[in-house]
Amino acid sequence: MAAPARRPGAERAPRYRAAVTRFDLRALRLPSGGQAREQVEIALEPLLLGGQAYEQRPNPVPAELTVTRASSGTVFELVLEVTVDGPCVRCLAAAELPLALRLREYQAARAETEELASEYLADDRLDLSRWAGDAVALALPDKILCRPGCAGLCPRCGRDLNLDPHEHAASDVDPRWAALEALREPD
């Protein structure tokens, strides 16, 4: 299992500078019709979801970048495996999500419209950190859970319903409220 989940609301000093791994395409000197396959290491920033930080490991993550150049444009493919760690949204226990990503971007040689241009490419440099980070965020499920169908915490007493499944009788009143009830003047 991963490191224990931090308490909700606990703030933490940022450990990372903005993670930026850029790949300089000019270094490839790739002719039209050429293909290059490169092993790269990509620094990833923690993802912030619902006020919680989710770390990615390994970080930097090894990845394989393939660049294929045609006269009409360039195709970029990125293959990586990363695990996202963070608190379960229902019970706050450590959750881990392994992801296998195969990504693809296209940049037309003359990109007249935004659809033909990769938003991760600027000045012949491919921003691998932002590309991989966006893809990880998109690949995550709506709710990050520690296990399928996590039962969460009891809304009445806060105990973990996975470890301690229980119900409260409807007449079970919180003792603090019971004390207030006792003080109340009869009508």
Interface residues with Zn ion (CB under 5 A) are 88, 90-91, 93, 146, 150, 154, 156-157
Indicate the residue among 9 and 148 with the shorter CB distance to Zn ion. 148
Indicate the residue among 30 and 145 with the shorter CB distance to Zn ion. 145
| Residue among 136, 167, 140, 138 nearest 151 (CA) | 167
> Rounded CA gap, 178 and 108, in Å?
71
Q: DSSP state, 145?
A: -
Angle at 141 between CA 67 and CA 51, to 5 degrees: 100
- Tokens representing 36? 């290059």
Least Å from the CB of residue 92 to Zn ion: 7
Indicate the residue among 95 and 136 with the shorter CB distance to Zn ion. 95
Indicate the residue among 19 and 93 with the shorter CB distance to Zn ion. 93
SS3 131: helix
Query: For 109-151, where are the E strands, in sequence order?
Result: 121-122, 125-127
Residue 53: how many other CB atoms lie within 10 Å: 18
Least Å from the CB of residue 44 to Zn ion: 24
Indicate the residue among 102 and 143 with the shorter CB distance to Zn ion. 143
Least Å from the CB of residue 51 to Zn ion: 17
| Residue among 77, 110, 99 nearest 144 (CA) | 99
Least Å from the CB of residue 138 to Zn ion: 23
Least Å from the CB of residue 126 to Zn ion: 37
| Residue among 140, 155, 144, 167 nearest 93 (CA) | 144
